[in-house]
């Protein structure tokens, strides 16, 4: 059985080479060829011993993911859809800017968290990606873009694990991929420029802080447990006080001195002045230092199955002003790639809802309207 060498970080590749009777420096050479030069043909790896090249040809290979489609937005954003087998596909999105090139990478085919405002969550969960499938997105994008631009310099300066899936629910595959991104013999990215986004898997946040601390973004989206239970179901397992405490613990090891809170702006749901005031109180009650967090307000990208709507710009601006006036660093994310369904919360193709969320919500509304319900009338459904 042959092995895809994209599945290894440098330490893993060294172990693989040792099994072939080779020393670690051979693994370093091989790692450079694969990740720095984008090579997949062992015959081209001229500084490897011929004996090693022969061994590798018999037991290993380097292969990315088949590309199903590529779309380029009017703003320069590029989205690739990759085939991961069994009818599943994942996407990666490259976002060029004047001072950086950011690649948004997927960690799972589908997602098990089921956030109401995310079209990926409405598709349900298929499987975790392997380390090689995570790295293949960066490997392909970096070296494809270099070829197109004729550049020998790094094209991708930032990686955000914000594509399909919850990265921390695929921890075993995620960490070696992160280590390859950070390795100076690989992509040489700074810990400050690699970001893992999580909906709040508290135990894995603690593990990441010890195993491979990179920048952290937390999908918050609500200022209280009742609302967040509805929007981000994982909150029922790890409520806000546990999540905020975990954020503070992570800060002790993080490469940045703040946590980014992502907040998708939903019209009439979480975008009112009272929600902003609750957020301010939440942040202040968990502040162990001065500026320990910043907010990134995200325009919602609607899809029919959600039943949700984008907040008007006036509400977003007013919300941002309230947070800023309270001394909280706040930005509004610029929507990129919306014309190719590459913006935040979108994914390629028609959304196939396998979660049953609309049926559950309809059932809840029916219960709320039942005259003889013994419970008090619950708050407005979100």
Domain 67-368 has CATH 3.40.50.300: no
Are 290 and 106 within 8 A, CB to CB? no
11 closest CA partner among 204, 193, 178, 191: 178
Banded pLDDT at 338 (limits 50, 70, 90): low
Evaluated on CA atoms 121, 124, 128, 133, the torsion sign reads negative
d(CA 159, CA 103): 5
Which residue in the list 91, 133, 142, 166 is annotated as catalytic? 91
Tell me whether residue 91 is one of the annotated catalytic residues: yes
Are 357 and 344 within 8 A, CB to CB? no
Q: Is the pLDDT of residue 106 over 80?
A: yes
Tell me whether residue 115 is one of the annotated catalytic residues: no
pLDDT score at 123:
83
List the structure tokens of 313: 């710009």
**Range in 4-13, 34-43, 58-67, 288-297 with the lowest mean pLDDT:** 288-297
Banded pLDDT at 350 (limits 50, 70, 90): very low
Banded pLDDT at 374 (limits 50, 70, 90): very low
Q: Are strands 78-85 and 88-97 parallel, antiparallel or unpaired?
A: antiparallel
pLDDT score at 381:
34
138-187 per-position pLDDT tens digit: 999 999 999 999 988 999 999 999 999 999 999 999 999 999 999 999 99
Evaluated on CA atoms 233, 234, 237, 241, the torsion sign reads negative
pLDDT score at 380:
34
Mean pLDDT of the chain: 90
CATH of range 3-61; options 1.10.3720.10, 1.10.1740.10, 3.40.50.1000, 1.10.150.530: 1.10.150.530
pTM passes above 0.85:
yes
Going from the C-alpha of 360 to that of each of 224, 230, 232, 273, the distances in angstroms are 22, 11, 15, 29
Banded pLDDT at 340 (limits 50, 70, 90): low
Is there a common fold for 3-61 and 67-368?
Answer: no
Q: Are strands 60-61 and 108-110 parallel, antiparallel or unpaired?
A: unpaired
**Range in 48-62, 161-175, 275-289 with the lowest mean pLDDT:** 275-289
289-314 per-position pLDDT tens digit: 768 999 999 999 998 889 999 999 99
Are 6 and 63 within 8 A, CB to CB? yes
Which residue in the list 104, 118, 264, 344 is annotated as catalytic? 344
110-134 per-position pLDDT tens digit: 999 999 999 888 888 999 999 999 9
d(CA 117, CA 354): 15
Give me the residue spans of the domains in the chain. Answer: 3-61, 67-368
| Number of CB atoms found within 10 A of residue 181's CB | 27
Give the angle 326-332-336 at the CA atoms, nearest 5°: 170
């Amino acid at each position: 059985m042959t092995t895809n060498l994209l599945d290894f970080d440098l330490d893993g590749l060294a172990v693989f080479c040792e099994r072939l009777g080779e020393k670690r420096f051979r693994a370093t050479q091989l790692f450079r060829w694969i990740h720095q030069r984008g090579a997949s043909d062992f015959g081209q790896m001229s500084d490897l011993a011929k004996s090693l090249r022969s061994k590798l040809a018999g037991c290993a290979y380097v292969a990315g993911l088949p590309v199903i489609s590529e779309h380029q937005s009017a703003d320069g954003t590029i989205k690739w859809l990759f085939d991961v087998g069994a009818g599943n596909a994942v996407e990666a999105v490259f976002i060029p800017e004047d001072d950086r090139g950011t690649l948004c990478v997927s960690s799972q085919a589908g997602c098990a968290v089921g956030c109401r405002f995310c079209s990926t969550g409405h598709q349900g969960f298929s499987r975790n990606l392997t380390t090689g499938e995570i790295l293949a997105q960066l490997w392909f994008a970096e070296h494809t873009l270099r070829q197109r631009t004729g550049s020998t310099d790094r094209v991708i300066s930032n990686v955000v694990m914000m594509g399909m899936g919850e990265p921390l629910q695929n921890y075993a595959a995620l960490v070696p991929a992160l280590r390859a991104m950070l390795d100076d013999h690989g992509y040489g990215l700074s810990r400050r420029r690699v970001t893992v986004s999580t909906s709040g898997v508290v135990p894995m946040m603690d593990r990441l802080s010890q195993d491979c601390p990179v920048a952290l973004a937390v999908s918050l989206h609500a200022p209280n447990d009742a609302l967040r239970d509805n929007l981000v179901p994982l909150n029922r397992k790890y409520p806000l006080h546990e999540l905020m405490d975990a954020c503070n613990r992570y800060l002790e090891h993080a490469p940045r001195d703040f946590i980014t809170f992502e907040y998708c702006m939903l019209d009439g749901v979480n975008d009112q002045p009272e929600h902003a005031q609750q957020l301010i109180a939440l942040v202040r009650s968990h502040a162990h230092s001065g500026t320990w967090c910043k907010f990134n307000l995200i325009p919602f990208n609607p899809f029919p199955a959600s039943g949700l709507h984008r907040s008007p710009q006036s509400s977003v601006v007013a919300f941002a002003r309230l947070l800023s006036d309270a001394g909280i660093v706040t930005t509004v994310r610029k929507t990129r790639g919306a014309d190719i369904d590459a913006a935040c919360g979108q994914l390629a193709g028609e959304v196939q809802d396998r979660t049953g969320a609309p049926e559950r919500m309809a059932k809840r509304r029916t219960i709320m309207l039942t005259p003889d319900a013994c419970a008090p009338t619950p708050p407005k459904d979100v």
